[in-house]
Structure 1
Amino acid sequence: MQIRMDWTRVKFDWNHARAFLVTAEEGSLSAAARALGMTQPTLGRQVAALEDELGIALFDRVGRGLELTESGASLLAHVRAMAEAAGSLSLTATGKSQAIDGVIRIAASEIYAAFLLPPILPLIREKAPDLTVEIVASNDISDLQRREADIALRNAPPEGDTLIARKIAEDTGYFFATDDYAEKVGDLTDEAQLKQALFIGMANNDRLIAGLQAMGLPVTDRNFPFHTDNHLVHWELAKQGVGIGMVPEWLGDSTRGMARVTCGLDPISYPVWLVAHKELQTSRKVRLVFDLLAAEVPRMLG
């Protein structure tokens, strides 16, 4: 006996489900509204409408944030599966999975986007002349699940099982300053010299200081009078002689007028991950660019 669904009785709005999904992932209405490019009241109405449609409460308000209720947590996996199915349906319907044209978005940190990717772009152009490459330069981790990018270069592995990731290389960072400033501060293994040295800080600078102290470099807040969350500005400040900056070794060593600053530490090593959505398995353009990056990035870092 075959059971047929009476779809005329199903009242379900995908926009409401998407609003719930992004709110659950972002943890607040304000963050979700920014991610979706809509106003917070509009988003709130869509989440409330889904609660009315389903007859359940999806969130509890905790402080300024939201936490999923038990019902909301149970629903989340199903809505994520719907989002995956909607993306696959769109790809199949438009035939884009086999076409090597259109737009592909590559997310990378500001340093990688500005210095590592540009030499690779002509190779992508040679292999796929009809492809438009958009670079998403950000130190935040782009959300591939919501199509903020198709491929990402990251220094941390992704979480969850909806993404494909490959560790392609190890990168290393070190301290650099202008030749004049490096000569002026001298050997920072000397405590008196270290007290006089000025470093350029980054976002979450307390974490950076704690990490350097754990490695044996006794820096304090007094060593970091300048801060920026932009890595390109960080490097430019170092090149202008403002203080000591930390960048990948390949960038610092290849920049004329910049020198390593001796501080008694080994170079700091960190992994390089190449991450893509599971669409990688069906999209020729994503596979082509992914494989090319997997080959060229280690060569450039090597």
Structure 2
Amino acid sequence: MSLIKNDFVVKNKYSRPGAKRVVTRAIVLHYTANLGGTAKNHQNYFDGSDGGGGRYAGAQVFVDKNEALAIMPLQEMAYQANEASCRIAALKGSLGGYTGNANVTSVGVEMCIERDGSIATATFNRTVDVVVELCKLYNLSSSDLYRHYDVTGKNCPAPWVARPNDWGRFKDAVAAKLKGDTTSDKFYTYAPDHVKSLKEIGLYSDVKLSKDKQIKRYAKGTKLTIIGVEYDGKTPRLRTAKGYITANKENVKGYHDYIGTIKILTDDLNYYDTARWDKADGQVKKGEVYTVVKKLGSGHYLLKSGRYITSNSKHVKFVENE
């Protein structure tokens, strides 16, 4: 049974031109950049004769925490990977007199984002499963996955441009599931920056976590820095600077390096897709809270969403992580 439900928009020249692609060489990952929008919100937006406000845009599939919707047949072309430029030679293509590059040769998958601009874990996991399904349908592998950024240089999906490790984690999860490995459902198969113990756990000097190699016990709630993943056979373990701990998600919860949060103090504050001050890409509202990855010398905060916003205390209140 497919994870993708069909909810097609009407044919229109902007979001569903109706042209059939003749080849599928890749899957291109995007994010909607629409804070809090659902897959159905976007289906509604792109439906109608003006196809989302009369601009050439869209994708075949939209994914949120609860569902994945195909807003057009997968084999139809979508204006999703920029017809003007293509940095991946293998994705260059044309359709009749239309030179659409990756629009012609790939399926676009859009991930919906939360109010804080992040990609929810449930959306991440559902997108993994959707992409696995598409890879099987088109006989593709994880090496055939690209960010919109990889294809055209656009800052999309911005969270994965800001944190390339999260993109690597996504591709690794797809690769594992294509091999029939469901280990990642129970264990961390990638290295989160840090973990917090959900119950008492042991630290061991060997990857087997042998009882006679136990160094110490960590209490519930202990925070540890992770430097890698190693395997005992098929079972992953998390490696710290002092030894090995369990990678079981029932025992530890992974998280990444975020220095704190900001609360917006002024109305309609500009944000940017790069660390600049001209040509704002959008605005945030007073009272909203966002997660901060780091503070830049340019006077910006880099947010978890991959966006940039002023670090001026007149406009934002910063709260450091404990």
Structure with higher helix content: 1
Structure showing greater Rg: 1
Task: Give the structure-2-normalised TM-score.
Answer: 0.24
